[in-house]
Amino acid sequence: MEHSPSWLVNSFIYLAAAVIAVPVAKKLGLGSIIGYLVAGIAIGPWGLKLVTNVQDILAFAEFGVVLMLFLVGLELEPKRLWNLRRPIFGWGSAQVMACAAFITAAAMAFGVDWKIALVAGLGLALSSTAIALQAIGERNLMPTSSGQAGFSILLFQDVAAIPILALLPLLGALTGDNEATAQSSRALEALKIIAVIGGIILGGRLLLRPVLGWIAKSDTPEIFTAASLLLVVGIAALMHFVGLSMALGAFLAGVLLAESEYRRELETDIEPFKGLLLGLFFIAVGMSIDFGVLIQSPGLMAAILFGFLGLKLAIIYGIARAMKLPFQERPVFTVLLAQGGEFAFVVFQAAAGTNLFSMQTSSLLIGAVALSMLITPLLLIGVDKLILPGYARAGAAHMDEIAEQQSAPIIIAGFGRYGQIIGRMLLAQGVAPTVLDHDADMIETVRAFGYRVFYGDATRLDLLRTAGAATAKILVVAVDSVEQSMKIIDLAKEHFPQLQIVARAKDVAHLNQLRDKGVMRVERELFESSLRSARAVLELLGQPPHEARQNAMRFRQHNLALLEQLYPHHKNRAKLIVVAKQGRQQLEEQMAKEREELAQKRPAGWHDEAVDRAAGSKEFEQA
């Protein structure tokens, strides 16, 4: 039996590790990045040793970052990019220079040679574009001021990687090697760089759109996908040839195509490859952590890791304040830019290649960067759970709780979208309810429109008393949270038995809980509006409006009757499923029979698209 090719075995290992680790990490609330990193550690040289060619994998996987920046570029039109020039070159340069200066100074204070300290400071000042942009996307932060600022700084860092790499041979020359190599060599490199960037810009303007149009006319989707990948690979190869950032070249190409008619198709074609390769990149980062160095010098590794993270956190938070970002957005912005970046791997490996420092030092710094990437998602979880709730409370408008005794006959607990509609209808009939809500910002907004809304948590017995629950006739429970809804109803049932309760149910499970408490006037929040949308769909399919209305009403009646049948079994999952399936089958049979009867009553030549579709579907099922 022949041995399987190594690439096939490695592909199986990568995919199996990701499929196992990522869902587990997501289930634990740690995020997909942690899952990929842990998968890399598990299969790498310091785990199960299933994969050992880490550097080759890391070099290939960096293409995921390239594809990501190409897609980011597609979202940025040249005008918008020009509008960002100040934050990119202003705050971006401030972040890189300040972080590099402080880290360099700190290293020199501990006796590190100035050249090593400078290279370490420049490398550690960079942040992970992959982690930061993925987190910004997952949190939908790109439209916010902190998302825009973070993107601008990350973009400047990609640009800054070029002069940093160009600086390394100069520093290497200062160690005593021949400096004469290279005035002419450096001039030639500069000319190559200018020529390639100019070629990308000119080619993007003059050639890319006509070529993509010609390929699109072939009407072969897989060839257009191949052309999309060829475009990104070709530009990345050109940039690599002249020693520039591949990701920066891909970003530039994306910007040039941002206004083209092929933008959406390019995004659709490249998105799946980007996701897979980014996952592979994080797996490779996990594999690249040299635990041997960590075991040999755990104290030094911890000092480097927490030292540079601490300095960057302080500096970046200061920059966030100087930029006047909303203070609720500053913690996430700071953490996203504090960790080390993928370009640090390139900088430190190149520095070892030019003999600026030893491979041991390079491994130590690369390990610190990889560990910072590993703990960044954990820091974000800590920020979400420990810091942001306090920031949200601090940012909320200060508001006194309801203090004056109220006497309205109706109390509404919760004045979001659902509660507001009830309140508006009551006010239109001349009935002024007492409204309780604990969202200070929302209260300020609706008060501006003349509503009498009081700040207070309806799950507190004392506030319910003050709101007039002892004398009111009706309590409307319209809060979003199922847990809060049940607490309010428990209090009302125990202390104010005269109250008639009208409740909002989030879903059928919540409705059944309310029924268990004896609440009979319950409305599912989306049921009626969904029925109206279904009616509109039936009308668009060709049903006359009165028939669509009748069908919706029959479905409504059947659904409510089915809920009554299901309620006695709602704690018995097996029985619940059986009854639900029977009910659905009965509804389908009933409506099919009614369609047939209706079709027989119609005059000859009557054409109904909906009936035709249903009949076609039935014939297909029978076949």
Average confidence (pLDDT) over 97-123: 93
Per residue in 4-13, pLDDT (tens digit) is: 566 678 778 8
Q: Calculate the average pLDDT of the chain.
A: 80
Indicate the DSSP class of residue 207.
I
pLDDT at residue 413 in the model? 92
Q: Which amino acid is at 576?
A: L
Per residue in 220-276, pLDDT (tens digit) is: 778 877 887 788 788 878 777 776 667 777 777 777 777 777 777 777 777 777 777
Lowest mean pLDDT among 431-445, 467-481, 526-540: 431-445
Query: In angstroms, rounded to a whole number, what is the distance separating the alpha carbons of residues 109 and 152?
Result: 31
Domain boundaries along the sequence of the chain:
6-176+188-388, 410-525, 529-622
Neighbours of 69 (CB within 10 A): 30
Tell the CATH topology of 410-525: Rossmann fold (3.40.50)
Ramachandran angles phi, psi of 329, nearest 5°: -95, -10
Q: 3-class DSSP state for residue 128? A: coil
**Side-chain-facing half-sphere of 209: CA atoms under 13 Å:** 13
pLDDT at residue 194 in the model? 72
pLDDT at residue 139 in the model? 78
Instruction: Check if the beta carbon of residue 223 is closer than 8 Å to that of residue 215.
Output: yes
Give the pLDDT band of residue 186 (cuts 50, 70, 90).
low
Cα torsion 370, 374, 376, 379 to 10°: value is -140
Per residue in 135-178, pLDDT (tens digit) is: 887 777 877 888 888 988 988 887 787 678 767 767 766 654 44
User: What are 504's strand-pairing partners?
Assistant: 523
Give the pLDDT band of residue 391 (cuts 50, 70, 90).
low
Q: Is the pTM higher than 0.85?
A: no
Alpha helices in 46-91 (DSSP H): 54-61, 63-74, 78-83, 85-86
pLDDT at residue 208 in the model? 73
Give the pLDDT band of residue 559 (cuts 50, 70, 90).
confident
Count of all residues that appear for the chain in the document: 623
CATH architecture of 6-176+188-388: Up-down Bundle (1.20)
Average confidence (pLDDT) over 180-185: 50
Neighbours of 176 (CB within 10 A): 8
Query: In angstroms, rounded to a whole number, what is the distance separating the alpha carbons of residues 345 and 348?
Result: 5
Query: In angstroms, rounded to a whole number, what is the distance separating the alpha carbons of residues 201 and 220?
Result: 27
| Contacts (Cβ under 8 Å, ≥6 apart) of 465 | none
Query: In angstroms, rounded to a whole number, what is the distance separating the alpha carbons of residues 367 and 301?
Result: 8
Higher pLDDT, 214 or 537: 537
Q: Which amino acid is at 449?
A: F
